[in-house]
A = this chain, B = another copy of it.
Amino acid sequence: MTAATLLPDPRLEGTLSVLAPDGSLLRPDLVPDDETLLSLYTGMRRARVFDDRAMVLQRQGKLGVYPCFGGMEATQVGAATALEHGDWVLPTYRGTALAMVRGMSLAHILLAWRGHPAGYQVDPELHILPFYIPIANQIPHTAGIALAEKRRGTGRVAMAFIGDGGTSEGDFHVGVNFAGAFGAPAIFVIENNGWAISTPTSVQTAAKNLASRAEGYGMPGVRVDGNDVLAMYHVTREAAERARRGEGPTLIEAITYRILPHTSSDDPGRYREETEAQAWKSGRDPGKRLRAYLESRGMWSEAQEQQVMQAMEAEIKAAMLLADQAPEILPEALLEHIYAEPLPEMLEQLEEIRALGALE
């Protein structure tokens, strides 16, 4: 670890950590059971391997624009692992790791990032909704879903992710306030990675931190080290328990860093020095942190590591094969599922598309 990486980052001030960046234990009281520890670690590893591979696939023309999350996997894996089956998850476009933890198949994920309709057909049983492209739109939905669960008394919660930039949109405010006003069992996780494309958080808002918004909505605001998967797991679990007890929503600000470009199309060299990213990358990697801790407890070995990596590579390969076999997209796909029954003029439009196919 270089000297730079050891510098305290002011963004992390006041955040909860369970492990120090070097993996040493700060809060023994907040360590989950071994099974959870291992599933958090493998969840992060698998996610990271997928992310790396997806960037390569994108460059090979096999995926559309891909929003990578490497280096931020702890926020998503920690939060998603803390929920129960039946709880709802509303991801942003950067939420591929959330989807993986929720059990969405890799083939499905690959198809989603190709724009194949099959990639959008999320399994309602998983209770994870499709990647939201327009920013902050999912926040009012989260209030609505949570209100429905509250009314039914199911004890289920709804959790949305949003970026630091996304907190400036009107829909963020509106949705969080609705959830607060209704005392709905919702969790809002701000994945604060320091950047909204080229805009640093300091340009986004004059607020010292984003969790400070919580008070204005009448809910607790929690600041957490987003690269500490144990901390993420803990605060999300607490928020979910609060929600299940009928005590309403929680706003969590997870401090992390976007060490990679915004998406496969972005060149961060246009707008930032990479020193900060480098420091986070080398000094605060979430996987390394938990691995160091697991190793210190003798719970993880290089052999296990290799096994997870290789299994994951194989899984991705198999998923690619599956994805490549997805049925060719028929003209119907364009006009299907707009309404329960297509309108008459849409059937005519479908004929037009079919006729054109015949023409070419």
Contacts and interface: CB of A to CB of B under 8 A. Distances in A.
Contacts of A203: 181
A297 interface: no
Interface string A168-189: 1111111001001101000000
Interface string A202-218: 01111110101111111
Contacts of A218: 205-208
Contacts of A213: 213, 215-216
A98 interface: no
Interface residues of A, number: 27
Contacts of A205: 177, 180-181, 216-218
Contact of A216 (B171, B210, B248): B210
A45 B171 CA distance: 41
| Residue with the greatest number of chain B CB neighbours at <10 A, chosen from A170, A180, A213, A248 | A170
B174 A169 contact: yes
Main secondary structure of the interface of A (DSSP, over half): helix
| Copies of this chain, tallied across the complex | 2
Interface string A155-178: 000000000000011111110010
A219 interface: yes
A208 B180 CA distance: 11
Nearest to A210: B216
Contacts of A214: 216
A206 B217 CA distance: 6
Contact of A219 (B181, B206, B217): B206
A47 B141 CA distance: 44
Nearest to A207: B218
Contact of A212 (B169, B171, B177, B216): B216
A67 to B, nearest CB: 24
Nearest to A221: B216
Contacts of A177: 168, 205-207
Contacts of A204: 181
A177 B216 CA distance: 13
A170 B181 contact: no
Contacts of A248: 206
Contacts of A170: 169-171, 173-174
* Top-5 shortest CB links A-B: A170-B170, A206-B218, A173-B173, A213-B216, A180-B206
Interface of A: 168-174, 177, 180-181, 183, 203-208, 210, 212-219, 248
25 contacts: A168-B174, A169-B170, A170-B171, A172-B173, A173-B173, A177-B207, A180-B205, A180-B206, A205-B216, A205-B218, A206-B217, A206-B219, A206-B248, A207-B215, A207-B217, A208-B215, A208-B218, A210-B216, A212-B215, A213-B215, A213-B216, A214-B216, A215-B215, A215-B216, A216-B216
